[in-house]
Amino acid sequence: MDPARFGLITHPGGALAAWIHWRVNPCPRDHCMPTKLSALEALERLREGNLRFANNLSNPDKPLSHQRREELMSGQEPFAIILGCSDSRVPAEIIFDQGLGDLFVIRVAGNIVAPSQVGSVEFAVSRYHTRLVIVLGHSRCGAVTATLETLLDGEGTESRNVAAIVNRVMPAVRGLLDTELRHDRPALLRASVRANVRASVDHLRHGSAIIESLIQDDGLVVIGAEYSLESGMVDFFDGAPGGS
Ligand SMILES: [Zn+2]
């Protein structure tokens, strides 16, 4: 394969290096089973997968086969937990270019954290020894937009259930309305998406004795990230070693 043919030379820095690394060593562990990765190793795997996706170089050999399904009959060892938004444009397995059994994914509108999300993370970190949790927001999030419309325009919802989501996002973004961002809706939305991710990260880090204990004593890491609908890239902006 000629990298130039795929436009790699003109893509942002890092894409070519990631591509070469993947071609040389596509499956660093037996049968591509990413078992018991550390948080850092898991993060690197996500970064490499997202680079492949964003550069239209998704791995054609990623484990989605009948054989992989059979391997997973006896159990799973997902290397990362993703708490992401339900938005149809942000499917975790696709944007991180991963296969069956790789990711433990929790999706809910606005990537909010309520008891069932905390419980899902507790379950995975305890049962599967997964040591990386990513809260994944995204640009132009509808749930965050709806929350801003409620706060700024009084456009409430008649559904108690939808209101339950908006009310979870509200505390994270309310303070931004007292800043100059109030007069710039696109900038306000961008800041609100990140504030909402940070609130969910904070809730996970401090809202569960199980998670807090594993963070302190057993290498668990919770990171906040934002997916760009525009570029296809994920920015690990909150808590990632070495920044994004
Ligand atoms: Zn969303």
Which long-range contacts (C-beta less than 8 Å, at least 24 apart) are formed by 69-74? Answer: 69/100, 71/31, 71/33, 71/101, 72/100, 72/101
pLDDT over 50 at 7, yes or no: no
* Spatial strand order in the sheet of 132-138: 103-107, 80-84, 132-138, 221-227, 234-238
Q: Is 12 exposed, middle or buried (0-12, 13-18, 19+ CB in 10 A)?
A: exposed
Assigned domain for 244 exists: no
Residue-wise pLDDT for 24-41, tens only, equals 444 444 344 445 899 999
Assigned domain for 125 exists: yes
Domain that holds residue 58: 3-238
Number of folded domains in the chain?
1
CATH code of 87's domain: 3.40.1050.10
- Using the mean position of ligand 1's atoms as its centre, give its distance from the Cα of residue 142 in Å: 5
Assigned domain for 116 exists: yes
Assigned domain for 243 exists: no
Assigned domain for 69 exists: yes
- Using the mean position of ligand 1's atoms as its centre, give its distance from the Cα of residue 3 in Å: 34
Assigned domain for 58 exists: yes
Give the pLDDT confidence score for residue 53 in this predicted structure. 97
Give the pLDDT confidence score for residue 54 in this predicted structure. 97
Q: How far is CA 98 from CA 32, 62, 73, 233, in A?
A: 10, 7, 18, 15
Instruction: Look at 72 and 11; give whichever has higher pLDDT.
Output: 72
| Cα 228 from Cα 139, distance rounded (Å) | 5
Residues around ion ligand 1, judged by CB within 5 A, are 85, 87, 141
Assigned domain for 107 exists: yes
Residue-wise pLDDT for 139-197, tens only, equals 999 999 999 999 998 877 779 999 999 999 999 999 999 999 999 999 999 999 999 99
User: How many C-beta atoms lie closer than 10 Å to residue 115's C-beta?
Assistant: 9
The pTM assigned to this predicted structure is: 0.84
pLDDT over 70 at 135, yes or no: yes
pLDDT over 90 at 242, yes or no: no
| Cα 100 from Cα 57, distance rounded (Å) | 18
Give the pLDDT confidence score for residue 60 in this predicted structure. 81
